[in-house]
Structure formats: C-alpha cells, structure tokens
Amino acid sequence: MSRKFFVGGNWKLNGDKKSLGELINTLNSAKLDPNTEVVCGAPSIYLDFARSKLDPKIGVAAQNCYKVEKGAFTGEISPAMIKDCGVQWVILGHSERRWVFGETDELIGQKCAHALESGLGVIACIGEKLDEREAGITEKVVNAQTKHFADNIKDWSKVVLAYEPVWAIGTGKTASPAQAQEVHDKLRQWVKANVSESVGNSVRIIYGGSVTGGTCKELAGMADVDGFLVGGASLKPEFIEIINAKQ
C-alpha cells in the first residue's frame, strides 16, 4: 500500500510576523514535491496569519490544544477555535509537552479523542528518553505511549504517528536510518497486532529528531519511514530539501 509522504514543520516557540512571513514567501515560491503532504506547525497566536499567507496546498497545524470545546480554561485553545482559523491539524503529545509541561499519557489521549471528534487531523508524537533507550526499554515505552493514543482513536485515517526519540530532539544527534527503521517497523507491527492489519499498513509513521537536509534522504529511503516532523530546520530554507527528500 502506498502511503503519501508527510513532512511537518514544527516552528515551536519561534518567529515573528516578519521572519515567518519571509519563510512563508520562501515556501510559497519553492518547487515542492507534489507527492508530499506538507504541514507547518505555527505558534497559536500566528495560526490565522500562517493560514492566510501560506499557499493553500500547504497545511497548517496548531502545536497543542485542549480536550474540550470551550470553558474556564485560561490560556488554552480548542479544536473548534483551531478550525475556525481554517487550520486542519494539531500536534499532540510532543516530548516538550510531556517533559517540560508535565502532560500525562491520559491527558494526551483525551486531547486526541476530542481533536479527532472535532474533525482535526492529529500528529501523534511518541518517543523514548536517552536513559530509556540505554536501559533497552525503547519498545516498551513507545508501545505504551502508542496504546494511550490508540485507545482514543476511532478513525485512523486522520492520524499520523510521529516517532521522536527525545535524545535526538534539538541535540544534533539523529537516530541512524537503521535505528529509525527498527522502531518504525516494530511500531507498525504493534499497530497491526493491536488495532488492525489494514491500519498498520496504511498509517503513516514519520520520524523526528534533528532531521536536516543532510540526513533526510537516507532516512526517507527506509521502508517504514513515511516522512518527518522537523524542528529547527523547518525555519530555514533547507526545509525545502527535506520536503523534497523522496525526489
């Protein structure tokens, strides 16, 4: 089964209207692989700006959302608000949400359920920390995180799984193509065994963790790497090289 290559750019807490406007102009004028789905994760205050300026063929994602539509939840945004800005995706469970802001598997699962019920696509992030990899429990950790998502997903067609080893995010360390492929393959086997064979074959599993123009082509050649979630490099012109990694 052919899975459409997916490249997400996570801008994190970066940019202003000037710099993001320049980045958007660069993306809009670039020759992007038409067979790759591209989504940019903008800070919530710039979602409207990004959606109105980016070429319609490039998607936009919020970097987080809450588990209800509205209410007394100061500082939060809901899927309904995200959709009202014309935005169709949200990133959930990113390691920075887990480890910097203390979000639990349970909360992330609840957010995922509500986002999907509201009609958003979800980029569902999972990944182990360095001590967990060194202890040999990568598979156990990643499977447990995936289960919390899976328990809250009815329709997998709007879900992209993003494997991001925490030790490789922003550190300059990248999992080797073989390391990435090994985890992606085991993840796919887990989905086949615990969700269904067809979902296991069709779900896109993307890799994140210091992906650059220099590392993307070899990673993209792995059988079970269906794209990337890109951090720092998504703010630079080399993001275009990463989008075109399959060409």
| Residue 184 designated active-site | no
Both tokens of 153, joined, read: 């997903």
Residues 6+ apart with CB under 8 A from 18: none
Residue 103 is among the residues annotated as catalytic for this protein: no
Candidates 37, 148, 164, 184; catalytic one: 164
**Which residue among 37, 94, 96, 148 is the active-site one?**
94
| Residues noted as catalytic | 94, 164
